[in-house]
């Protein structure tokens, strides 16, 4: 019998990673979204293309998918009431807002439901638990009926060019890396056997590794690259003023994590992780831009996020932060735009706060 995954959010990660993994494992994938052209295309085509951007470009067709309009609460609840697994990739701002529809589906179920929270958001299970509790009846046994599973997403997916989006709103580009790390201890019952779904104990260690090595290094490449005129991350990594500093900053965080989680990480394994990231950041075929990676600084300068959080870990572990600090400083003056010359309003506001309140005042505002 074919198993069904309901994937909330048909964005780049939903399509390139989650939909791809589960479809290749033989699952039916039902996307929930609200964008009309995406819904129409999924219903019409019942498949979409992933272009794997490496030196040797390849393509993967994800077959047997369909869509449900997220504005149709009854239809969403009906799908959730009978699915085998639910996953979300909607972003931190939207995550609590989809709780009413999810709760309506949960209330109809007799079997427990595991929910993969693919949000790269610290505290995502707690946020969703609080939001669901407000929607479900008093006394509902949430912890017995719902497994809220944090994940760590390392797959890099660039912004799609405007002309490609117009031609095919479903096509998505991505690197070859294809793993979804999940918190083993949070599953209720058995863990689905899906190639690329990797369940880990000591999950917090892997969250910190992703955030304070991968995400921090990626931001460092964007901010230092922008400072020296790079448009893409790969261009930045080739610059003598950028690539070595990015690698060194990631090693600063790596050394801190080896000290903080000695039972989980070794120096050699951490060095392999950093070297692999440097190689992946240097992927010209992916075309990932410093704009995409560096934008939304209020979130990225938050106290527990990739930059300030990395500095805190390094200080707590007694590790130097010279090159991480270079990245933090460069990001204060980040000015990259998208392909149409636009910037995020949040980044413009970030600069206003920095001008008017200085660094301390800025960090207080974004905390």
The pLDDT assigned to 367 comes to: 76
- Taking 50 as the pLDDT cut, the residues of the chain under it are none
Please tell me the CATH code under which domain 4-201 is placed: 3.40.50.720
pLDDT, residue 254, reads 99
| Strand ranges in the chain using DSSP code E only, listed in sequence order | 4-8, 28-33, 47-52, 58-63, 65-69, 85-88, 113-117, 146-153, 172-174, 180-183, 197-200
pLDDT of residue 44: 95
Question: What pLDDT, on the 0 to 100 scale, is given for residue 203?
Answer: 95
Residue reference for tokens 């999924």: 42
pTM, entire model: 0.91
Who contacts 1 (Cβ-Cβ below 8 Å, separation ≥6)? none
Residue 316: predicted pLDDT: 97
Q: What is the pLDDT of residues 252-298, one digit of tens each?
A: 999 999 999 999 999 999 999 999 999 999 999 999 999 999 999 99
> What pLDDT sits at residue 120?
79
> How confident is the model at residue 121, as a pLDDT?
84
Residue range(s) occupied by CATH 3.40.50.720 in the chain: 4-201
Q: What pLDDT shows up at residue 229?
A: 97
List where CATH 1.10.1040.10 sits in the chain: 204-366
pLDDT at residue 53, rounded to an integer:
96
Q: Angle, nearest 10°, between helix axes 99-106 and 124-135? A: 70
Sign of the torsion angle spanned by Cα atoms 236, 241, 242, 243 = positive
Structure confidence by residue, pLDDT tens digits, 185-239: 999 999 999 999 999 999 999 999 999 999 999 999 999 999 999 999 999 999 9
Question: Contact at 8 Å (CB) between 159 and 289?
Answer: yes
* 204-366 maps to CATH 1.10.1040.10: yes
Reading the block at residue 214, the tokens are 């991968």
């Amino acid at each position: 019998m074919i198993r069904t995954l309901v994937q909330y959010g048909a964005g780049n990660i939903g399509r390139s990673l989650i939909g791809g993994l589960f479809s290749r494992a033989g699952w039916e994938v039902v996307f929930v979204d609200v964008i009309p052209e995406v819904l129409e295309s999924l219903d019409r085509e019942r498949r979409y293309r992933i272009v794997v951007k490496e030196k040797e470009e390849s393509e993967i067709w994800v077959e047997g998918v369909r869509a449900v309009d997220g504005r149709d609460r009854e239809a969403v609840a009906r799908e959730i009431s009978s699915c085998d697994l639910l996953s979300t990739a909607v972003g931190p701002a939207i995550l609590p807002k989809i709780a009413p529809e999810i709760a309506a589906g949960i209330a109809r179920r007799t079997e427990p439901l595991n929910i993969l929270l693919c949000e790269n958001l610290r505290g995502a299970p707690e946020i969703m638990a609080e939001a669901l509790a407000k929607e479900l009846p008093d006394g509902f046994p949430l912890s017995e009926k719902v497994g809220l599973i944090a994940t760590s997403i390392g797959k890099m997916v660039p912004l799609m060019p405007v002309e490609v989006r117009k031609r095919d709103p479903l096509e998505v580009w991505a690197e070859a890396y294809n793993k979804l790390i999940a918190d083993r201890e949070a599953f209720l019952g058995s863990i689905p056997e899906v190639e690329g779904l990797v369940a880990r104990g000591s999950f917090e260690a892997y969250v910190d590794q992703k955030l304070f090595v991968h995400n921090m290094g990626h931001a460092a490449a964007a901010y230092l690259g922008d400072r020296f005129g790079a448009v893409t991350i790969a261009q930045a990594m080739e610059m003598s003023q950028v690539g070595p500093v990015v690698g060194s900053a990631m090693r600063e965080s790596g050394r801190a994590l080896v000290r903080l989680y000695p039972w989980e990480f070794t120096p050699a394994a951490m060095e392999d992780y950093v070297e692999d990231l440097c190689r992946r950041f240097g992927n010209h075929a992916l075309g990932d831009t410093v704009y995409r990676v560096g934008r939304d600084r209020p979130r990225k300068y938050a106290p527990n996020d990739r930059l300030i959080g990395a500095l805190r870990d390094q200080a707590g572990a007694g590790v130097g932060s010279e090159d991480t600090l270079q990245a933090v400083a460069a990001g204060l003056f980040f000015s990259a735009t998208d392909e149409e010359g636009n910037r995020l309003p949040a980044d413009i506001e970030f600069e206003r706060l920095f001008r008017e309140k200085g660094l301390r005042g800025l960090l207080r505002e974004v905390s």
